[in-house]
Amino acid sequence: MTIDDWSAERESTRYWLGDYLHIQADVEREGDHLPLRLLVDSCVAKQTPEEDASLQYAILDFHGCLVDGRIPDVKSAFKIPRPRLETLQFTIEAFRFSGDIRNLIYIACHLRVVATDKGPDPLNKACSFNSQRSLWLPVEGSEDICNCCETGNCVSSKGWPSTNNPSNRRTSEQREQVTLGSGMGEALGLTPVLKDVHWLPVRLKVLVLTFKALNSLGPVYLKERLHCHRSAQTLRSSSEGLLVVPSLQEVRLQGTRQRAFSVVAPSLWNALPSEDT
C-alpha cells in the first residue's frame, strides 16, 4: 500500500469511504535473472480472516480482471503504463461490508510472474473497465484479451471466488472510516496484500533455486534435499511432479523447520498450478 503518488509506503491502514487504496506489487530482480512480468490473478476482500467468512467480495478475478471497477460510479483501475514490467500498480475505492459496524476488511491477492517473452493473453493479463468508453482496456496487449472479463469465462483463478455480489459491497455514501485488517493466519493460505507483496521476491527466489536444483543446474546439496513423490498407484502427486514435504522428525533443523529449504521449497513448488510444474 502506497501514498497517492506511489513514491512511498503508506503508514496508516485507515481510509475514508471514497478514498482510493494505492496498491503496488514488485518483483525484486537480482543478478542475471530472466526478465519477468508481474501479474495479479485475483484479489478478494473478506469481513473476517477466516477462510469460510460469510461475507466476501472479489475485487479482482478471472486472471487479471479488475471487476470492482465494473460497478457503476466506481473507478478502480490499473495504472497505465506500468513503471516497469516487474511492477504492477492499481487503485481500489475504499468500501465496507453492509452491516459491519467494525468497518474492517481483510484483503488478499494471488500474484504470479511470467517470462516477458510470454505475450499477454486472456490468462495472462491486467484489465480495467473504462466507464467512459464502456469497454475493458489492458495494461498491455490487444483489447480482445479482456473480452472474457465481461463474460466471466476466462477460467476462474484457482482457489478464489469467481462471482461478485455488489449488494454486499457498500451501504451508503456517508464518509465512514474503514480499516484494512492484518494478521490473517498463514494456515488459511490467505495473507493481506502487504504481506503477500513483501514475500513475493522470497518465494520467487526459492522457486528458481528449486527449478535449478531439480534440473541439475544448481548446488548438489540443494538437490539432495529434494525428493520427488513416488507411488505405486497413478496419483496426481506422481503425474504432476510434486515433491515430498518432510515431516518434523525428518528435518534436521527442527527448531527452524518452517525456514528449512527442504520444507519450504517442496511446499511452494507443490502450490504451483499444475501447468507450471
Taking 50 as the threshold, does the pLDDT of residue 24 lie above it?
yes
- DSSP readout, 85-134? TTEEEEEEE----TT-TT-EEEEEEEEEEEETTS--BTTB--EEEETTTT
Given pLDDT bands bounded at 50, 70 and 90, which one contains residue 76? very high
Please state, rounded to an integer, the average pLDDT across all residues of the chain. Answer: 76
Taking 60 as the threshold, does the pLDDT of residue 186 lie above it?
no
Given pLDDT bands bounded at 50, 70 and 90, which one contains residue 165? low
Three cell numbers, residue 273: 498450478
Give percent above pLDDT 90 in the chain: 27
Three cell numbers, residue 40: 495479479
In this structure, what DSSP letter does residue 258 have? G
Given pLDDT bands bounded at 50, 70 and 90, which one contains residue 163? very low
Task: State whether residue 214 is helix, strand or coil.
Answer: helix
Q: What is the mean pLDDT of residues 154-165?
A: 50
Q: What is the pLDDT of residue 155?
A: 62
Angstrom distance (rounded) from CA 53 to CA 48: 6
Q: Cis check for the bond before 81: say yes or no (omega within 30 of 0).
A: yes
Given pLDDT bands bounded at 50, 70 and 90, which one contains residue 258? very low
Task: State whether residue 193 is helix, strand or coil.
Answer: helix
Lowest mean pLDDT segment, chosen from 1-10, 45-54, 86-95: 45-54
* 135: β partners: 130
Domain architecture of the chain: domains with CATH: 14-191 (2.60.40.4100), 202-276 (no CATH)
Taking 90 as the threshold, does the pLDDT of residue 142 lie above it?
yes
Q: What is the mean pLDDT of residues 58-77?
A: 91
CB neighbour list of residue 120: distance below 8 Å, 6 or more residues apart: 138, 140, 141, 142, 145
C-beta of residue 25 within 8 angstroms of C-beta of residue 110? no
Q: What is the pLDDT of residue 159?
A: 39
Task: State whether residue 270 is helix, strand or coil.
Answer: helix
Amino acid at 59: I
Q: Considering only the C-alpha atoms of the chain, give the largest distance between any 2 of them, rounded to a whole number of Å.
A: 62
**Tens of pLDDT along 191-232?**
333 344 444 556 677 788 888 888 887 777 778 878 887 765
Three cell numbers, residue 239: 503425474
Given pLDDT bands bounded at 50, 70 and 90, which one contains residue 158? very low
Task: State whether residue 63 is helix, strand or coil.
Answer: coil
Given pLDDT bands bounded at 50, 70 and 90, which one contains residue 182? low
In this prediction the pTM is: 0.61
Q: What is the pLDDT of residue 96?
A: 83
Cα–Cα distance list, 27 to 65, 90, 108 (Å): 20, 15, 17
Lowest mean pLDDT segment, chosen from 7-11, 108-112, 256-260: 256-260
